[in-house]
Amino acid sequence: MDIRARSVELTISLSALRHNFLQAKRAANGQKIMAVVKADAYGHGAVEVAKALSTSDNRTGTNAVADAFAVVCLAEAIVLREAGIQQPILILQGPTSVEECRAAAQLHLWPVIHDLSQLKMFAATAQAKTLQAWLKVDTGMGRLGFSLNDAANILASPGHINWFGVLSHLASADDLDNQFTLSQADKFNTAFNSVGLQRSLANSAGVIGWPACASDWARPGIMLYGCNPIHSDEAFSTPVSTGIEHSKKTDVFVKTEAIVGKPELKSVMQACAPLISRKRLEAGATVGYAQTYCAERAMDIALVAAGYGDGLPRVLDGTASVLVGGHVCPVIGRVSMDSIAIDLSNAADAKVGDQAQLWGPGHEIGIWARASGTIEYETMTSIRGHRCYIDE
């Protein structure tokens, strides 16, 4: 470990990443894959992740190469270009200035245009015609994007933009019982199937559970890093017939498409920190700030060198745990800035210097996400530590 770093160590498995990429590619069923590496690849390191899925990596097999990457802003794209990434890079939030429009053209990036202000910026950019731009449409997410009518008018009007594609984003694809996803897919397909542009709609949940959202490009994100956004195992147990039925009488979309199937995803990130103290508590002793934990019996505990200063959530519901020597050890008391306390009842032989696995293979990150009332996305993008990359 780097002696200049804090104690949390993040081991990133590039082989697991490629495995998950191939799972996404299989589930995408012929769609091109735009690997989402925004927010520093969800905390995994955008440059290393992109290289592992790039034609520039000699270890990458031809099947594990992304067709493009997606980031959120120009700065993230510049980092990838400077690292030698040659594939197309989509900028999901598009440009924020005329200068960024020019830079996007110079770096051969794919800007997303979702607001009239961006169209005006490009009108003042001499290189706009050299860009391959994407138009973002709001089909129900209620976030970025033009209305369907405005999008149609923009595409029909001559202008300064060389349109390459059109995309939208799914609001509730992680819920397989929510028919809104089919409504979004129907709106998107009806409006843009015949415009002669590239199309992109499916995120990870769309790739896994909604074949109706398939188009030219899929944009998997969280599944590349080992997490399935669709948590219900029951959702994958009963296949149904293929197709989408639309009842004009009731204007209700009936879900009748087949579920792709639960992908076999592997944890890409393993987060660990060392035990820095072991001590004996007597019955009635308390642990941590506000004395929220009181020992009901004499017990051994350990302090782990990781806290909210390293990105762990401060507020937990009592169900968070770590692995020490393969044994589950509950987190007890409040999370401090630099440490957590754990119950060693299941790991009697643990000693100072042993590693506590916060999450990783055999101990999913979702344990921590659920214990803090959030989702895996937030947990993995919040953690900070020294990264170590392995490629088995």
User: What is the rounded distance in angstroms from the CA atom of residue 146 to the CA atom of residue 168?
Assistant: 10
Q: How far apart are CA 68 and CA 198, in angstroms?
A: 13
Using alpha carbons only, what angle is made at residue 83 by residues 199 and 79, rounded to the nearest 5 degrees? Answer: 65
Tokens 């920190």 sit on residue: 273
293 a catalytic residue: no
Query: Which single residue is written with the structure tokens 């392995």?
Result: 390
The Cβ-side half-sphere exposure at 237, using a 13 Å CA radius, reads 5
Out of 38, 42, 225, 377, the active site residue is 38
**Which candidate in 120, 279, 289, 351 is catalytic?**
289
Q: What are phi and psi of 155, to 5 degrees?
A: -70, -30
E strands along the chain, which residues? 9-13, 32-36, 68-71, 89-91, 110-113, 133-136, 163-167, 198-200, 217-218, 244-247, 252-255, 269-281, 286-287, 293-294, 299-304, 321-324, 327-332, 340-343, 355-359, 386-390
List, in order, residues 6 or more apart from 11 with CB less than 8 Å away.
269, 270, 272, 360, 387, 388, 389, 390
- Alpha-carbon distance of 348 to 133, in angstroms, equals 59
Active site residue 389: no
Under a CB-based contact definition with an 8 Å cutoff, are residues 106 and 98 in contact?
A: no
Place of tokens 């998997």: 220
DSSP string, 200-248: E---HHHHHH-GGG--SEE---GGGGT--S---GGGGTS---SSEEEET
Active site residues: 38, 289
